[in-house]
Amino acid sequence: MTEYWVSQGNKWCDFCKIYIANNSFSIRTHELGKRHKDNVTKRLSTMQKENEAKEKEQQQAARALQQIEAKAKKSYQKDLENNQRNVDGDTSAAPGDGWVFDSASGYYHDKSTGLYYDSNSGFYYSDSLGKWVTQEEAYKSVQTSKTDVGQSSTSQTKAPAAETAVPAIKGGPAPGRVVTKPLNPMRPIKGTPAPSAVAVNKRKREDGKPKVISKEEEAALKAREAARKRVEDREKPLMGLYKTY
């Protein structure tokens, strides 16, 4: 019976990143070599370091979580004590007299100044500033707003100055200069025909003598006047809205 040769292929070594012959002798020879052993040692050392770093991160996260839970529990207990004092009518946490606990907002409120006080943080809220500030800034804003209100009320109580009466014109000639000539010579006055562009742009000679016009210029003037009339007839239904001459 005839035997056929079969290729065994190659085996990939993940530690050395190379291919070796896929037979027991080659594999054993490679695994017993110094290069393979060094690569295995490096891989194990790297895996150990990664595991240690991962465990360290997990421990740090667990400690941070414990600290957060401890702070949250402490803050919760403090809030419970403050709420209990507010229910019992205890005003020891208020900054002074005139402060009343507002159950809707959860802060102390002073109607005379319009300020809110947070007993946990010690900050004050002012509507004029729109943010939480220190006590000094809050009372300073209250004084400023009171000063502005006083000045506005004083200005409103003053008697208004006597207004100068403007005499009404019932008839007679106009009080000022009457312009009868339009500023734009190209724009006609209502009820008068539009001046010709040739007549507007034409200048008079100083000596009074008529200018000699050649046949070419005369033909050009006639053609321009005829074109103007055609445009005028075409735009006559538009009531002069798009007049360009």
pLDDT of residue 213: 80
Residue 100 or 24, more confident: 24
Cα distance between residue 74 and residue 166, in whole Å: 76
**What is the tens place of the pLDDT at every residue in 62-72?**
999 999 999 99
Task: Give Cα 179 to chain centroid, integer Å.
Answer: 51
- What value does the mean pLDDT take over residues 102-117? 80
Name the nearest CA neighbour of 229 among 203, 200, 194, 180. 194
Are residues 182 and 188 in contact, defined by beta-carbon separation less than 8 angstroms?
Answer: yes
**What is the tens place of the pLDDT at every residue in 199-241?**
555 555 555 566 778 888 889 999 999 999 888 888 766 554 5
CA dihedral 147→153→154→155, nearest 10 degrees, is 110
Question: What length is written for the chain?
Answer: 245
pLDDT of residue 204: 56
- What value does the mean pLDDT take over residues 23-45? 94
Name the nearest CA neighbour of 108 among 97, 60, 172. 97
Element (H, E) at 133: strand 131-133
- Show Cβ contacts of residue 142 under 8 Å, excluding neighbours closer than 6 positions: 113, 114, 115, 126, 128
How many helices (H) does the chain have, and how many strands (E)? 5, 7
pLDDT of residue 61: 95
**What is the tens place of the pLDDT at every residue in 152-192?**
666 555 545 544 454 554 555 545 554 555 555 555 555 55
